[in-house]
């Protein structure tokens, strides 16, 4: 009789255990995709119900949600961005990081209105994070200074002393008031190019010896139409000019530079590089920019003579790196 009572009790408890397990189980992939689709439903109630369900699901919804938002439906984008924004405040740092990454990818695609909405949410999210980002960048070798001329912005220089990675460079997007970014001899990939494209207030972008190709440079120019972008292959001559206009007269040769080692002197007037006519300092800069560190160029210069006409001198220079 006792054994019989035990069997009955076990049967009575088992169904409850099954129900509890079902309630704790994650939502099926099919259900998540259905809710994502319902964000664009013609029925308001279905859109509302789908948004609440996806908010409850959390990180499992991120990938299909991001894919749906990239399609560009305004209703889906608006609701999707709001769902992901809620995940930014998650107590789980992994969930918050994945949500931030998802929004960054959307913001960096450059497709409106998705990019604009995602970038706006990130900009608000990053408020207050600027000090932490600055400290991290400086620890890794970046130099961050006030904008010259009393401007309200900041300049970011990342050069030979940089010890960070491409992922660390994403911190630049968290800084407030970035007016100029200069990368010297730091290789960058597509993810960094995308981050730079989000710096809407940027006025000057110098990319020297970064390995960026022409296609990426054109994409940056499209994303930052108000910025002055200077892309150079990375070769460095080491001279300054007497002025931008008129003949390319060298005013100063930096000690120990490629120019000094190649025999250039103050007062030389550069008239050609590798046979290409040079009619000003900007032309010289543009020509050198097409060459990388270690490459050699031959400069034809007119050198003032003592009580005589200028002499034509050929100087072969092996370029330094920025």
Q: Which of the two residues, 305 and 186, has the higher pLDDT score?
A: 186
At 168, list the tokens.
Answer: 């660390």
pLDDT score of 230: 93
Contact 62, 98 (CB under 8 A): yes
pLDDT score of 104: 83
Going by C-alpha positions, the residue among 277, 280, 272 that lies closest to residue 300 is 272
User: What tens digit of pLDDT does each residue of 199-248 get?
Assistant: 878 999 999 999 898 899 998 999 899 999 999 988 999 999 877 778 99
Taking residue 193's Cβ as centre, other Cβ atoms within 10 Å add up to 20
pLDDT score of 295: 94
The whole-angstrom separation of Cα 156 and Cα 139 is 13
Going by C-alpha positions, the residue among 33, 36, 199, 171 that lies closest to residue 100 is 171
The whole-angstrom separation of Cα 212 and Cα 219 is 11
pLDDT score of 121: 86
Give the chain's mean pLDDT.
85
The whole-angstrom separation of Cα 130 and Cα 146 is 14
For the cut 70, the answer to whether the pLDDT of residue 31 exceeds it is: yes
User: What tens digit of pLDDT does each residue of 145-164 get?
Assistant: 998 877 789 999 999 899 99
Question: Whole-prediction pTM value?
Answer: 0.64
The whole-angstrom separation of Cα 103 and Cα 85 is 8
Going by C-alpha positions, the residue among 15, 81, 92 that lies closest to residue 51 is 81
Residues 6 or more apart in contact with residue 266 via CB below 8 angstroms: 250, 251, 252, 253
For the cut 50, the answer to whether the pLDDT of residue 15 exceeds it is: no
What are the C-alpha distances in Å from 285 to residues 29, 212, 242, 291?
56, 18, 14, 10
pLDDT score of 20: 34
Mean local confidence (pLDDT), 71-77: 85
Most confident of 3-7, 18-22, 120-124, 268-272: 268-272
Going by C-alpha positions, the residue among 172, 168, 189, 169 that lies closest to residue 180 is 172
Strand segments, DSSP code E, in the chain are 143-146, 154-158, 178-184, 204-208, 228-232, 235-236, 239-241, 248-253, 269-273, 276-277, 296-305, 308-318, 320-321
């Amino acid at each position: 009789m006792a054994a019989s009572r035990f069997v009955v009790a076990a049967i009575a408890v088992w169904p409850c255990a099954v129900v509890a397990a079902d309630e704790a189980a994650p939502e099926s992939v099919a259900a998540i995709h259905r809710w994502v689709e319902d964000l664009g439903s013609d029925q308001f109630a279905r859109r509302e119900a789908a948004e609440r369900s996806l908010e409850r699901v959390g990180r499992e919804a991120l990938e299909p949600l991001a894919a749906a938002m990239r399609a560009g439906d305004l209703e889906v984008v608006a609701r999707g961005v709001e769902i992901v924004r809620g995940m930014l405040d998650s107590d789980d740092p992994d969930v918050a990081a994945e949500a931030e990454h998802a929004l960054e990818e959307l913001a960096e695609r450059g497709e409106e209105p998705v990019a604009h909405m995602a970038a706006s949410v990130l900009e608000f999210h990053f408020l207050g994070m600027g000090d932490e980002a600055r400290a991290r960048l400086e620890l890794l070798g970046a130099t961050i200074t006030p904008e010259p001329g009393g401007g309200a912005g900041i300049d970011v220089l990342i050069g030979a002393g940089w010890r960070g990675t491409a992922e660390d460079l994403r911190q630049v997007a968290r800084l407030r008031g970035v007016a100029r970014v200069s990368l010297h001899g730091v290789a960058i990939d597509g993810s960094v190019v995308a981050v730079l494209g989000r710096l809407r207030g940027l006025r000057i972008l110098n990319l020297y010896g970064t390995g960026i190709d022409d296609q990426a440079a054109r994409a940056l120019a499209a994303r930052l139409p108000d910025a002055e972008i200077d892309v150079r292959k990375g070769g460095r001559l080491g001279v300054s000019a007497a002025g931008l206009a008129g003949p390319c007269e060298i005013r100063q040769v930096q000690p120990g530079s490629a120019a000094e080692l190649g025999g250039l002197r103050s007062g030389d007037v550069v008239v050609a590089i590798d046979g290409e006519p040079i009619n000003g300092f900007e032309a010289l800069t543009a020509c050198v920019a097409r060459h990388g560190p270690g490459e050699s160029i031959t400069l034809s210069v007119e050198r003032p003579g003592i009580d005589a006409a200028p002499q034509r001198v050929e100087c072969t220079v092996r370029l330094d790196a920025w």
